[in-house]
Amino acid sequence: MNPFVSHLECSLEGTRVEAGPTYRLSEAGRPLLVRYRLDEVAAAVDRDQVAARDGGFYKWRELLPPGDFDRVPRLGEIDTPLIALDDAGLLTVKDEGRLPTGSFKARGLALAVAMARELGLTRLCMPSNGNAGAALAAYATRAGIRSLVYCPADTPRINIDETRLAGAEVVEVDGYIDDCGKRLAERAAAEGWFDVSTLKEPYRLEGKKTMGIELAMQWGWRLPDAIFYPTGGGTGLIGMWKAFAEMRELGWIEGPLPKMIAVQADGCAPMVRAWEAGENFARRWEHASTIAAGIRVPQAVGDFLILRAVRESGGTAIAVSEGEITRSWISVAREHGTLLCPEGAATHAAWRRLTDSGWLAGDARSVLFNCATGLKYALPDAG
Ligand SMILES: *Cc1c(COP(=O)(O)O)cnc(C)c1O
């Protein structure tokens, strides 16, 4: 364990538990967050020296949980590029599709697997809509750990094949990702698999957090006005918000924090419904359906953390239609030579809607998160 880690904290009640043993949720059944002695980190390291290291997201090691970075599983991690979609640089895409396994799920699973190995676990499992399972399989295989993934049977074929090829056992389930989670939990308990599902162990979030640190570094230690994030389980959004708080405390960033905009699809929008009703928790979305598979998540354990980050940041939650997703997917590829994934296209559609309506000022600087390569999906017909 990183010696700068001070403890783990229940994200709902703030109760502390000692870092070190393996944990899943807190006693209250909520996600656990890793806390660091940030004053000691600030005194021990220089921000710009840390930023100059190689190793992609692993470079932020004082702010990550592993103790031994010589042994973390590596597959060629890099900083992902920011691609401007206009001359003024107001609208940029952070292209997470360049990471190992073609999605930002690599960030979280690399850290979850690294910690699992440090803690002596040998069997990891999770339910997945596709990209997470592939990242788990690849990093687990790299670390010599077995993996088991339950997927909805209508998960994009390429993801299921990729996950199997990278060494995981894959079980296809007739249902949604939360149904997969329930089925998997029974088998995991019986056979001793450790569940690394979104926010059900504390370390995956720490990997996702690096999106926020990396973005700040690329923006000269300031942040954009708005971040559009395709929200399923919400770890990326929650992780970035945690990163911003930590970097503020470290004195690494200046200026205001961005508005966090949670983007969902009309066919699966539990966060948007809860946001519009002013609620702190979200009810399950029945009959979820969207081509943006990564955000087809009917229910999220971190619902209150997503809603809290959106609220604290002065952001909003917005759902877009399948038609808007497809139109943005095609237009960004055609006009900018930039192939998004449908979840990334949803953020573009949301950006268009919020600038058209005037909710977002015309000169606001926005970053869209494209969380996977578009090449993993059945592509739209450009007509
Ligand atoms: C998993 C995934 C998301 C949603 O990410 P969360 O942080 O779990 O909300 C969005 N887009 C793609 C491509 C994904 O794979």
Residues with CB under 6 A from ligand 1: 103, 105, 131-132, 198, 230-236, 294-295, 341, 343, 371-372
The ligand 1 atom at the shortest distance from the C-alpha of residue 131 is: 15
Which among 109, 131, 163 is the best mutation to test ligand 1's pocket, defined by most ligand atoms within 8 Å of the CB? 131
Cα gap 172→201, rounded to integer Å: 23
Cα gap 335→383, rounded to integer Å: 15
**CATH classification of the domain holding 143:** 3.40.50.1100
CA of 126 relative to ligand 1 center, distance in Å: 15
CA of 239 relative to ligand 1 center, distance in Å: 12
The confidence score (pLDDT) of residue 22 equals 78
Q: How many CA atoms lie within 13 A of 164 on its CB side?
A: 8
71 within domain boundaries: no
306 within domain boundaries: yes
The closest of 36, 40, 41, 32 to 6, measured between CA atoms, is 36
Residue nearest to atom 2 of ligand 1 (CA): 294
339 within domain boundaries: yes
Residue nearest to atom 8 of ligand 1 (CA): 233
The closest of 220, 318, 323, 198 to 260, measured between CA atoms, is 318
Evaluate whether 324 touches 294 at the Cβ level (below 8 Å): no
The confidence score (pLDDT) of residue 1 equals 94
Q: Going by DSSP bridges, is the β-strand pair 316-320/366-370 parallel, antiparallel, or unpaired?
A: unpaired
CA of 231 relative to ligand 1 center, distance in Å: 6
259 within domain boundaries: yes
The ligand 1 atom at the shortest distance from the C-alpha of residue 238 is: 7
Within 8 A by CB and 6+ apart from 379, the residues are none
Residue nearest to atom 15 of ligand 1 (CA): 294
The ligand 1 atom at the shortest distance from the C-alpha of residue 372 is: 13
Give the residue from 63, 91, 110 where a domain finishes. Answer: 63
The confidence score (pLDDT) of residue 96 equals 98
State whether 349 and 203 are in the same domain. yes
State whether 46 and 90 are in the same domain. no
State whether 36 and 164 are in the same domain. no
CA of 258 relative to ligand 1 center, distance in Å: 19
CA of 373 relative to ligand 1 center, distance in Å: 12
CA of 71 relative to ligand 1 center, distance in Å: 27
State whether 82 and 19 are in the same domain. no
The ligand 1 atom at the shortest distance from the C-alpha of residue 234 is: 9
pLDDT digits (tens, 9 = 90+) for 4-43: 999 999 999 999 999 877 788 999 999 999 999 999 999 9
69 within domain boundaries: no
Cα gap 127→138, rounded to integer Å: 15
CB-based burial label for 75 (10 Å; 0-12, 13-18, 19+): middle
State whether 139 and 283 are in the same domain. yes
The ligand 1 atom at the shortest distance from the C-alpha of residue 237 is: 7
Give one DSSP letter per residue of 143-200, joined into a string: HT-EEEEEEETTS-HHHHHHHHHTT-EEEEESS-HHHHHHHHHHHHHHHTPEE--TTS
70 within domain boundaries: no
73 within domain boundaries: no
Segments of the chain scoring below 70 in pLDDT: none
| Buried b or exposed e, range 89-110, using 16+ CB within 10 angstroms | ebbbbbbbbbbbbbbbbbbbbb
State whether 108 and 245 are in the same domain. yes
Model confidence pTM above 0.75: yes
371 within domain boundaries: yes
State whether 101 and 51 are in the same domain. no
State whether 84 and 196 are in the same domain. yes
Question: Is the alpha carbon torsion for 167, 171, 172, 177 positive or negative?
Answer: negative
State the total domains in the chain: 2
State whether 367 and 299 are in the same domain. yes
Evaluate whether 88 touches 365 at the Cβ level (below 8 Å): no
The ligand 1 atom at the shortest distance from the C-alpha of residue 343 is: 11
Could you identify the residue written with the tokens 């687990």? Answer: 140
pLDDT digits (tens, 9 = 90+) for 331-382: 999 999 999 999 999 999 999 999 999 999 989 999 999 999 999 999 998 7
State whether 82 and 152 are in the same domain. yes
- Record the tokens describing residue 327, joined without a space: 């139109």
CA of 148 relative to ligand 1 center, distance in Å: 19
Residue nearest to atom 14 of ligand 1 (CA): 294
The confidence score (pLDDT) of residue 24 equals 87
The confidence score (pLDDT) of residue 382 equals 78
CA of 44 relative to ligand 1 center, distance in Å: 34
The confidence score (pLDDT) of residue 198 equals 84
Evaluate whether 184 touches 195 at the Cβ level (below 8 Å): yes
Which among 94, 211, 371 is the best mutation to test ligand 1's pocket, defined by most ligand atoms within 8 Å of the CB? 371
State whether 52 and 181 are in the same domain. no
State whether 231 and 302 are in the same domain. yes
Question: Which structural domain, as residue segments, surrounds residue 30?
Answer: 5-63
DSSP-derived 3-state class of residue 118 = helix
